[in-house]
Chain A
């Protein structure tokens, strides 16, 4: 009896599409985070520490356990200012 293999084709197509899309998404997320899983539940403290990490290493997920900071760390801090209303 001939097996209706044409019926399986849409299922295979959908599986392939989901797999390809999911893999691309995971790759993009991993590349954005230096090969690590992304951070979630970030509060203001974590944001502040991640900005500090960016000043130290150049990337928000870069890490280093050096006791001494590089000399440019002392002068690359950023303050926010806006004109007062007076």
Chain B
């Protein structure tokens, strides 16, 4: 137990100090931390799922608060909560099914589950989703007065039914945790391999002699382009360097070593070059439910230029980047201002910065935001590991991965 706390605290500090960068790395570490947290969690006999959800939520809140801009943390926390709910649901479904079929077959059913646990979680979850959703809609409707009357426990409202049903299933005490951990493992696996799945689709999107523009650096984009290259497509890539972090340089270097024809341009030349570009392929920081994209700074400009020249603007995003929230004023609220030293030499301008002449407000501001918001109407296509999607479809895709009960995680701390 203490080492889990240490683990969480360590991660918290890293997040706060922005030691972990990149949504993918963050998502992976978050999932790992949550996994060890769940495995260490001691569960009561009754209402296991509810207890687990509450515990995970408590940790998740801290993690999100540590770096509210890194939406991947919240996404993974929500995913884990969703997994817990689904596992719980599948267990109860199995139990109900077992009960309804025959009391005697109960043991067989359990044995059957134990034989292939890794497969069971996903399969049963999917089955539960398909079989239980329609009735659950009904229960949801029936539950309306119930949840409305008790808004505080709305999050555990779903659990209450689980509690009542799982109460008689003492044998599933360990199974829930086990299944959840298996599912989280799968999630981690998904996060790690998401770019491979995205890259598989590359040949469908890149044709011979294409000219592709990208900005900044993204592992997914590199894999995507290289996958197309490996399939004997020859095309050219323009890389905007992505000041002030100049990640484009590393991207260009990587592409060159893999044998791609690469041209590095300044960010300011994006508009000049985009008229000769066939497609813009970029990575994202996060994808919002409305189809908007939180992306590295500068991409809004690129998207506008692409729209002007009717160039497709394609965003590659692993599922851990899908955020179930609808953004409000994301340019400001979901942004982060980085150090001015990336833009200006302090040594040179320190006298200017001190020029405030006692009025309190400095005469020189340096604005160095980290992210841009690309509205959905500028995005032509999202390519996720489940395939290509319209921006307008993202909300539905997201609904598959998250439970509606978890959308607001910070509610309790606020109330």
Q: Do A and B bind each other?
A: no
Please list the residues of chain B having a beta carbon within 8 angstroms of any beta carbon in chain A. none
Please list the residues of chain A having a beta carbon within 8 angstroms of any beta carbon in chain B. none
